[in-house]
Amino acid sequence: MIKITFVIPANIHFNGGIEKTVKKYVDYKTENFDVTVLEGKNDNKNDDYNKIVINSIYCNYILKTSGAKNFLIRIMSPLLLEIDRIRNLKKIIYIEKNSDIIYLTNNDLYFLFKRPKIIIWSEHGNLPFNYTGLNVFNKILSKLMLKKVIFKKISYFHIINCYYDRYISSYGKYFCVPNGVDSGKFVPENVKNSKIKLLFVGRLEKSKGIDMIIELFNELNDNYDLTVVGSGTMEYMMENNKNIHYYKNIDIDKLTEIYKNSDVFIFPSVLENFGLAILEALSSGLYVITSSNMKPRFDYFEKMEYLEYINPDIDSIKNALKNIDKKLEYANIYENKIKIHEYISKNYDWKNIVNILYKDLEDVYNNE
Domain shared by 357 and 254, yes or no: no
46-69 burial: b if 16+ Cβ within 10 Å, else e: eeeeebbbbebebbbbbbebbeee
Domain shared by 222 and 175, yes or no: no
pLDDT per residue as tens digits for the range 103-124: 999 989 999 999 889 999 998 8
Domain shared by 336 and 359, yes or no: no
In a domain, 185, yes or no: no
Is the predicted pLDDT of residue 231 greater than 90, yes or no? no
In degrees rounded to 5, what are phi and psi of residue 264? -130, 130
Is the predicted pLDDT of residue 361 greater than 70, yes or no? yes
Domain shared by 66 and 160, yes or no: yes
Radius of gyration, alpha carbons of the chain:
21
User: Cα separation of 126 and 149, whole Å?
Assistant: 19
Is the predicted pLDDT of residue 73 greater than 70, yes or no? yes
Domain count, the chain: 2
In a domain, 93, yes or no: yes
Predicted local confidence at residue 134, as pLDDT: 60
Please report which helix (H) or strand (E) contains residue 200, including its range. strand 196-201
Domain shared by 55 and 96, yes or no: yes
Domain shared by 314 and 297, yes or no: yes
Domain shared by 335 and 362, yes or no: no
In a domain, 113, yes or no: yes
Predicted local confidence at residue 168, as pLDDT: 78
Predicted local confidence at residue 130, as pLDDT: 62
Mean pLDDT to the nearest integer, 271-282 = 89
Q: Tell me the pLDDT of the chain averaged across its residues.
A: 90
Is the predicted pLDDT of residue 308 greater than 60, yes or no? yes
In a domain, 186, yes or no: no
Report percent pLDDT > 90 for the chain.
65
For residues 84 and 109, the answer to whether their CB atoms sit within 8 Å is: no
User: Cα separation of 9 and 12, whole Å?
Assistant: 9
Predicted local confidence at residue 31, as pLDDT: 93
Distances (CA, A) of 30 to 99, 118, 155, 361, 362: 16, 19, 22, 11, 10
Pairing of strands 264-267, 244-247: unpaired
Domain shared by 168 and 304, yes or no: no
Distances (CA, A) of 64 to 58, 68, 250: 10, 12, 21
Domain shared by 354 and 343, yes or no: no
Domain shared by 207 and 160, yes or no: no
Q: Give the structural domain span for 342.
A: 196-348
Domain shared by 211 and 67, yes or no: no
pLDDT per residue as tens digits for the range 175-210: 999 999 999 999 999 988 999 999 999 988 888 999
| Other Cβ atoms closer than 10 A to 192 | 6
Mean pLDDT to the nearest integer, 30-39 = 96
For residues 10 and 40, the answer to whether their CB atoms sit within 8 Å is: yes
Q: What is the CATH number of the domain that holds 213?
A: 3.40.50.2000
Q: Kindly indicate the confidence band of residue 338, based on its pLDDT and cuts at 50, 70 and 90.
A: very high
In degrees rounded to 5, what are phi and psi of residue 260? -55, -35
Domain shared by 201 and 328, yes or no: yes
Is the predicted pLDDT of residue 27 greater than 80, yes or no? yes
